[in-house]
Copies of this chain bind each other. A is one copy, B any other.
Amino acid sequence: MKKRYAVGLDYGTSSVRAVIIDVENGQELSHHVFPYPHGKEGVVISKDDNNLARQHPQDYIDGFITSVSEAVKAAEAHPEFSPDQIIGIGIDTTGSSPMPVRKDLTPLAFEKEFADDLEALVWLWKDHTSHEEAVEITKLGRKMKPHYMNKIGESYSSEWFWAKALHCLRVNKQVFKEAYTWMEIADWIPAVLCGIRDVDQVKRSVCAAGHKALYHDDWGGYPEEDFLGALDDDLVQLRRRLPNKAYDILEQEGALSGKWASKMGLPAGLPVAVGAFDAHLGGVGSGVSEGTMVKNIGTSCCDILVSPLTDKLADIPGVSGIVPGSVLPGYYGIEAGQSALGDIHGWFVDMISRGQNKKPLFKALEDEAADLKPGESGLLALDWMNGNRTILVDQRLTGMVLGLTLHSASHEIYRSLLEASAFGAKIIADRITEYGVSIKRIINCGGIPFKSPLMMQIYADVFGMKMELSQSAQTAALGAAISGAVVAGSKAGGYDTYEEAMKHMTGVSDIVYEPIEENTKIYNRIFKLYKEVHDAFGVEGQQADLYPVMKQLLDIKDEVRTS
């Protein structure tokens, strides 16, 4: 029997990656990366406003043409491959990354009139120009719709759909008015691939809509008009043009249009899956299932879990995204995370290197830190250098290092930062299990787990659990391809369920980090102190007695050093 392949398109912050994946075993046959031509490393920025981060939608079109056609060419080097063996396409993107479009899906950015309007571009996930609007939405939500807020961890983010649309309305009313609607690129790209010319025909992704666009079936989808009207009447108009239903990735967006198919070197009519965000399809590409937490660890960290819809999951305080179907059909998708992770270690190296060559310093710190025993430095850090996404949901928290002495060395501080990330991760896991979602297994993906064995060992020791690594280094792209294989279905040589697809197409690496019992014992003690400091600075109205913290760190240090 001939092999079957699926295409995954992974739209990242600076580039899009196309992969061609063997449907039988999930192995990558070929890939091609296309860096976005616009802006600085793909991001349009502004000298006047550090918060601004936009993208040009033309890059997405050029991106799918080039990356897929090149990946196909590369695949053709393999004699067993021919393009007609490709059975489906899936897409993941960053998000929330919305843009204003016409009813026929034309981005305003494509029109001459708006060529110079930064507001007509895609508002990239990390665009924080809407921070005031986010605060406004949060305040109103807490007063008027507390049940909305319960679903998003109590705070609306400046990175999300409504804050961005509202900010556009405030700063560039013309763009807002001319737009028929706003679309996440996770919806726009699949629709364009299918040649859809009417936005009302688009199946929008539930992964993108809830919680970032406050979509939930409990209140009939997107937020109610009274709420949006209290923010601005014009938002009500936008709401009326949004659909009442969003779809999970079991759904096919449509069939690949002939126009693009020929440019990409693919057969026309291929099924295209509804889009989803990268972290969520990264969960799929890592083989997420009930009881498994997928940790996508890069500059920040995104945790993905699923829990059967039949289990009636309660809201989990501080866990920002619990959305039915956002990861897998038939499951709540649970999304949590840490606002900075690799970024923290990068910051520290940057800070001490003062512009010097960082690479050898990273390596040296990693090696020296690996020689330390848990507790040996007497240091304790808080991993809040970019705020806290879960479970405190508070951007206005900052990082800390305590336990410093005149002997504290750079590699000791470096290690304390890795430990802080692990402690922060454990706080999240503990909160989730506390609310009835069991975590029996942790699979790590993203860049850092492959780069830092020390980090993974610290995680294993802090959690007292085995740390596994996803087999694939490109789990989001793999997850996208899996969605392509599922919308193709078994008749086409794909799969009918995600469970079946993941069973064949995902796996874990042979590298496994086992917890070391004596390390776990020490870390349990330090974690208790982390939790005390975490709550003291992070929980409003908390009364804390922190006097014992420094003493206990010194006790542990003395014990470890003399043992």
Contacts and interface: CB of A to CB of B under 8 A. Distances in A.
Contacts of A361: 354
A36 to B, nearest CB: 23
Contact of A404 (B352, B364, B400, B537): B400
Interface stretch (A229-237, A290-298, A406-414): A406-414
A563 interface: no
A88 interface: no
Contacts of A544: 536, 543-546
Contact of A397 (B344, B537, B541, B550): B550
Interface string A522-563: 000000000000001111111111110111011000000000
A242 interface: no
A551 B378 contact: no
B398 A385 contact: no
Interface string A383-418: 011100000000011111111111111100100000
Interface string A324-349: 00000000000000001001100100
B536 A406 contact: no
B401 A385 contact: no
A351 interface: yes
A401 B384 CA distance: 13
Contacts of A413: 351
B554 A547 contact: no
Contacts of A405: 385-386, 398-399
Interface of A: 340, 343-344, 347, 351-352, 354, 361, 364, 378, 382, 384-386, 396-410, 413, 536-547, 549-551, 553-554
Given A347-B408, A396-B554, 17 more contacts: A347-B407, A351-B410, A352-B410, A354-B364, A378-B398, A384-B550, A398-B402, A401-B401, A401-B404, A402-B402, A402-B537, A536-B536, A536-B544, A536-B546, A537-B549, A542-B545, A546-B546
